[in-house]
Amino acid sequence: MIKHFRNFPHEISFWARIGWGGLMLLCAGARLGWAADLEVLSAAGSGRATAYVESPKIISFGDRTHVAWLDSSADGFRVQIRTLDQVTGQWGDKVTLGPAEDNHGGPALTIDAAGYLHVLYYSHHHPFRYRRSVRPNDASEWTPNEEFGHNLTYPGLVCAADGSLIMVARRSYEDRPWELELWRKSPGEAWSRQGPVLRSRHTDYAQFAASLAWSPDHKTLHLGARILELPTGELSLMHAGVVHLTSTDDGLTWSNAAGTTLREAATIDTAQPLATGSTDQSRILHVGSIDVGPAGEVAIPYNVRVQETSQSWIAIKSPAQTTWRHHALNRFLPHGWRDAALLMHGGVAYGNTGRLVVTGVVMRMAPDSTAWGEPSTEVVRFVSVDGGETFTSRIVGEVDPDVPHWMPNIERRTGFNKVGVEPALIYTAGERGDALKDQLSNRVLWVPGVGN
């Protein structure tokens, strides 16, 4: 079964096999988006250059910002990093961190209190490779790679208050339910497996899209995810739930959204999901990366695709609240885009003043559209100064209905990096490709933040 699913160009590209409808054409007036000092970081980006939402790829520390992504070339897939000098505004050259197994093997970045950068990369149903920068806040030289784990994919990475690294990633199996595993690396020690956090209820394909975020005091770890599973192994039937867990002991134990301590890995049933859906209900769910605001408020972005449209929400909960508030986003789309499908192939991040920034993608979907790399896809950026009650929004970059602009990855705090008033982001301009090993020449684009 694992081998079967490994052959998909993207593991969720099987959406194409489910007969979803299209969406009305966008108003012709919205041709140009927000061009805001875009920088081309690479012209050799892979079909998943800035994916996936789980994996943070932008780290600002001191007067430098480090950005990582996945290139493709005749020699194969290569994980790259470049550094922006915030004082001069100049970008350094590419530094190659290492190869990737295929287009799913892109990097996850974090930084510790001393300024050492840490990166995970390479794997798609393989061990991960880990490296640390030789010098603080300097991406030009790295330690030799260390391998750990089995059959892991999609790393989410943060740094704990004591300097330990905490990682969650999907673990695939041949004959048992797939899980979201948690691994830990204490300073000076090897990576060690702590155990599963989430688990599918079935033995076939599953995905979790799980991201991590710290509370402001660096004591509570939050996990947001979409548990997606195939109950029968058939592509035409999928179940999904958007879930939120918390841990006050750096991931050793977890509680669900209702505050109940979990004694084993959470499933859709035991996690107390914030939203659920399935293909037999014509409700397809996606979730973006999460973040925690300065007052401890948690924000989880998700979308529900129903028949021929997709609506997105931000679920927000403060420590003083017992219930989640779900804020609709589509009504805040730019003029001329209000009828577009809005999907949360992106994430949220709080700026250092509490401003909430959300990135997603809008598109017009043809009948039987995959919605993954749809040519009409454009990146949209929402900003709220009132805690998510209202938003302003802009389309990012120049609109081209024939070239997808997608996979936005927004800077968010992973432990010790600093985010400005509005966080920066990167995204991919170019096609997804037809297979995992396709060598493409997509652009990787940088969108600066505010006050970085």
The Cα–Cα gap between 177 and 325 comes to 32
pLDDT, one tens digit per residue, over 245-270 is 999 999 999 999 999 999 999 999 99
Per-residue pLDDT for 26 more than 80? no
Task: Delineate the domains of the chain, giving CATH numbers in brackets.
Answer: 2-447 (2.120.10.10)
Q: What is the pLDDT of residue 18?
A: 30
Q: What is the pLDDT of residue 306?
A: 87
Check residue 123 and report its DSSP letter.
Answer: -
DSSP states along 164-195? -EEEEEEE--SSS--EEEEEEE-TTS--EEEE
Q: What is the pLDDT of residue 346?
A: 96
User: What are the structure tokens assigned to 368, written together?
Assistant: 């039987």
Q: What is the pLDDT of residue 370?
A: 76
Per-residue pLDDT for 21 more than 80? no
pLDDT, one tens digit per residue, over 289-299 is 999 999 999 99
Q: Please state which of the ranges 66-75, 148-157, 262-271, 364-373 shows the lowest mean pLDDT.
A: 364-373
Q: Which residue has the higher pLDDT, 181 or 37?
A: 181
The Cα–Cα gap between 445 and 426 comes to 5
Please state, for a pLDDT cut of 90, what percent of the chain lies above it: 85
pLDDT band with cut points at 50, 70 and 90 for residue 452: low
pLDDT band with cut points at 50, 70 and 90 for residue 307: confident
pLDDT band with cut points at 50, 70 and 90 for residue 12: very low
Q: By three-state DSSP, how is residue 258 classified?
A: coil
Tokens 């030289």, located at residue: 141
Per-residue pLDDT for 31 more than 80? no
Q: By three-state DSSP, how is residue 105 classified?
A: coil
Q: What is the pLDDT of residue 369?
A: 74
Q: What is the pLDDT of residue 19?
A: 34
pTM: predicted TM-score of the whole model, two decimal places: 0.92
Please state, for a pLDDT cut of 70, what percent of the chain lies above it: 91
